[in-house]
Structure 1
Amino acid sequence: METILGIDYPTWWFLVIGGLFSGYAILDGFDFGAGAWHLFFKKELNRRIALNAVGPVWDGNEVWLVIGGGALFAGFPVMYATLFSSLYIPFMLFLIFIIFRAISIEFRGKEEMLWWRKLWDVCYSISSIMLAFLLGVVLGNVLQGFAIGENYQYTGSGFFEFLNPYAIMTGVTTLALFMAHGAIYLLLKTEGAMFEKLTNLLQKGMIFFMVSFAITTLYTLLYIPHLSDDFKSAPVLFAVPVLTFLSIANVPRLASKKNYKLAFFFSSLTISLLLVLVAVELYPNLLFSTVDPKYSIDVYEAASSERSLGIMLLFVAIGGPLVLGYTFFVYRTFRGKVKLDDHSY
């Protein structure tokens, strides 16, 4: 099996996809979180400021989702097919809500009527909440495992089987994390009375996240034992959860000092470390079978041919810096506090 720096191609592709989805979670996470807070702002001016804080970047953030989905399909087609057939309903709901969210942002300012703007405010906020929740639901199901039988066939029967207790807890935790992340981002983009309101909302968001995260972590340790196997076999991996807890603790500490730039950095780092933790818990599996572990899908069974992976890794080496450069350019261009003008939402 061919390797780069001693790491085989399927593992490299596993890392690439993890990096892409981490980037997506960080970038779209804060604008989902900002949208989840939207109805907490009562004044029209504040709602417009909140919308314009994410307005220049939200569609660019979703580029990471498109690339991540494409990379998953190209690199691990077996896993892609099984995952989407198993979680068809949440993925379709995700697609519906992401369309409604985009429509809400673009349509809200097209008419002056109060009822029109309130309608799209509600659609925007509910869509943002549901998108964050559904991402967590998918993650919770991946962590817990699926009813996968022979030939990678999904054997589950329940229409809403994906809404199991663990998936719901993971969905709520994801929503809470994104709300805290989004509140910090809005603090970087606002000032005055709205800024003061957001400092209170951030405190509530952090409490919401810490409580939900503690409950989900306890449930994981008690009822999802296969996720801790790698930590038992390699104690050095405990460095990942330790770093994660330290990163989480740094967010409220820095926020209390009003150092919101560093707080945003650590909330982003927290999202990345939590996904690293997920990767450690899963690898080498991609999907765990609850029917029989022998039916689980790992990175080697699910991967495309080595030749295909090698060619695609070359494209990643070229295209990755371009995507990062584009993202950096956009955020540098629109840095600073939001100022409304005639072209604002």
Structure 2
Amino acid sequence: METILGLDLPTWWFLVIGAVFSGYAILDGFDLGAGALHLFFKKEESRRIALNAIGPVWDGNEVWLVIGGGALFAGFPVVYATILSALYELFMVFLVMLIFRAISIEFRSKEPMHWWRRLWDVSYSISSILLALALGLVLGNVIQGIAIDQNYAYQGTLLDLFNPYALLVAVTTLALFMMHGAIYLVMKTENRLYAKLTILVKNTTIFFVLMFAITSLATLLYIPHMITRYKEVPYMFAFPVLAILAVANITRQIAYRKYFFAFLSSAFVTAMLIILVAVGLFPNIILSTIDPDLHITVYNGSSTEKSLKIMLTFAAIGVPLVGVYTSFVFWTFRGKVKLDETSY
């Protein structure tokens, strides 16, 4: 099999897809976190400011999800088909909540009535919370494995997906996004809302650190295959160390009210957690709880070598372009939020 810089093509695609989904988790993560916190803001002006903090970027951040889904379909069609069919209900909830979040943001300002805006505020917050929980449930089930047979058909039930470990990962994901979103909002606000958010930042950080510790302990105790590779390749232990140091740095930067650096650390933690999962799974992508011989790996689940090579060229061009566009948008709308006649 052809290699590029010492890595074969399926491994490169594994890294590309991991990078794209990391980008989505970092970018849409603070959007979802801001939405989850939305009902904590009682005043109309505060809610409008919070919405306009993500207003210029939330839809662009979802582009990373589209790219990730397309890359997964192109690079690992067997994985795409298996995970979407096995976790069909979770993905349907996810897609419906994406729709509700979008229309909540857009519809809220169309009418001035209090009940109308309250309705879409609740819809926006609930959809954001359910989106984060759905992502966490998907991740939790991928980490511990799914009951797939030799035909890659799911043999479990819907209730099996709501197992204790997956629920723990789901709550941890929500906690991470709430912290990430609170830090982003505090950078974009001022005066009384800023003061309120400094309290929310501390509370959500405590919530995340607690869930991070519990989930890490549960993984060590009940998901032994996730630590096997770290034992086999000792230098990989640097990743969990970096993740822990980054979590500690978030609390340090918040204590000094250096929220930009806290946000960077929060983004780094998000990426590191995905890396920890990827390292623990590799070379597997989907684990079968029925038979270890039925695991879907980067090799038996990938497209043909020719397809991977051609698409990798497109990915090498397209992904950086999206990254440049995303950076341009954030730079253009930097600074504190100011309400005007064009605001939500």
The TM-score bracket by the shorter chain reads: over 0.9
Match of 2:105 in 1: 105
1:115-130 aligned at under 5 Å gives the runs 115-130=115-130
Deviation of 1:292 after TM superposition, in Å, equals 1.2
1:208-260 deviation line (CA, Å, top 9, x unaligned) = 11111111111111111111110111121111000000000000100110111
Inter-partner Cα distance in structure 1 for 2:221 and 2:253? 32
What is the identity, as a one-letter code, of the residue corresponding to 1:244? A
How far off its partner does 1:160 sit?
Answer: 2.4
Matches within 5 A, 1:303-314: 303-314=302-313
For each residue in 1:127-158, what CA deviation from the matched residue of structure 2 results, as whole angstroms up to 9, or x when unmatched? 111111111110000001001111322221x2
User: SS in structure 1 opposite 2:300?
Assistant: helix
SS state at 2:285 partner: strand
Distance 1:229 1:294 in 2: 17
> Who is 1:234 aligned against?
233
> Equivalents in 1 of 2:240, 2:320: separation in Å?
29
1:29 aligned partner, one-letter code: G
Deviation string, structure 1 residues 178-226 (Cα, Å, up to 9, x no partner): 0000000001100001001001001110111111111111111111111
**Residue type of the alignment partner of 1:11:** T
Give 1:109 deviation, angstroms: 0.4
The alpha-carbon deviation at position 159 of structure 1 amounts to 2.5
- Does 2:207 align with 1:208? yes
What is the Cα deviation at residue 169 of structure 1? 0.4
Q: Distance in 2 between matches of 1:255 and 1:186?
A: 13
> 1:337 matched to which residue of 2?
336
> Which contiguous aligned blocks of 4+ residues in structure 1 show a shift greater than 2 angstroms?
none
- What does residue 93 of structure 2 align with? 93
The whole-number CA distance in structure 2 between the counterparts of 1:319 and 1:179 is: 30
How much does 1:61 deviate? 0.2
The CA distance in 2 between the partners of 1:243 and 1:252, in whole Å, is: 15
Which letter maps to 2:255? S
CA–CA distance in structure 2, aligned partners of residues 90 and 320 of structure 1: 27
- Output the CA distance in 2 between the equivalents of 1:106 and 1:151: 43
Deviations 1:61-108 (A, max 9, x none): 000000000000010000111101110000000001010000000000
For 2:114, give the aligned amino acid. L
Match of 1:132 in 2: 132
Residue equivalent to 2:282: 283
Name the SS of the counterpart of 1:69 in structure 2: helix
Aligned residue pairs total 344
Normalization by structure 2: what TM-score? 0.99
SS state at 1:286 partner: strand
Whole-angstrom distance in 2 between the partners of 1:127 and 1:318: 33
Task: Give the counterpart letter for 1:91 in structure 2.
Answer: F
Runs of 5+ consecutive residues of structure 1 not aligned to the other structure: none
Which residue identity lines up with residue 225 of structure 2 in the other structure? H
Aligned to 1:164: 163
Taking the TM superposition and a 5 Å limit, the aligned residue runs for 1:1-345 are 1-156=1-156, 158-345=157-344
Secondary structure of the residue that 2:158 maps to in structure 1? coil
Offset from partner CA, 1:282-329 (integer Å, 9 cap, x none): 100000111111111000000000000000011011112211111011
Q: Tell me the amino acid that sits aligned with residue 71 of structure 1.
A: A
Q: Distance in 1 between matches of 2:88 and 2:311?
A: 27
Q: In the aligned structure 1, how far is the partner of 2:28 from the partner of 2:193?
A: 22
Letter in 1 for 2:240: P
| Secondary structure class of the residue paired with 1:237 | helix
Amino acid at match of 2:69: G
* Residue identity opposite 2:320 in structure 1: P
Q: Give structure 2 stretches of 5+ with no counterpart.
A: none
- Aligned partner of 1:75: which letter? G
- Pairwise CA RMSD: 0.7
- Partner AA of 1:301 in structure 2: N
Partner amino acid, structure 2, of 1:199: T
> Could you tell me the TM-score, scaled by structure 1's length?
0.99
C-alpha separation in 1, matches of 2:165 and 2:248: 24
- Distance in 1 between residues matched to 2:334 and 2:60, nearest whole Å: 15
Q: Which amino acid aligns with 2:330?
A: Y
**Residue aligned with 1:151, SS:** coil
3-state SS of the aligned residue for 2:112?
Answer: coil
Q: Which amino acid aligns with 1:16?
A: V
1: distance between equivalents of 2:158 and 2:295?
22
- Greater mean alpha carbon deviation, residues 174-183 or residues 219-228: 219-228
1:223 maps to a residue whose letter is Y
**Which 10-residue stretch deviates more, 21-30 or 205-214?**
205-214
